[in-house]
Amino acid sequence: MAGPVEVLVVVLLLGAGLAVVCYDRVRRAWRRVRDRASPPPETPVGPAIEDLARSLRRVRAEVVAPAPGTTMARRRGTRAAYEDLLVQAAERLGVPDTLSGVPEGTDREAERLRLEHLLREAGLVLE
| pTM listed for this prediction | 0.65
Candidates 61, 48, 127; CA nearest to 92 is: 48
**pLDDT at residue 46, as a whole number:** 76
Q: pLDDT, tens digit, for every residue of 100-118? A: 888 888 999 999 999 999 9
Residue 1 has pLDDT above 70, yes or no: no
Instruction: Tell me the three state secondary structure of residue 34.
Output: helix
Cβ count within 10 A of residue 89: 25
Q: What is the pLDDT of residue 41?
A: 67
Q: What's the mean per-residue pLDDT of the chain?
A: 86
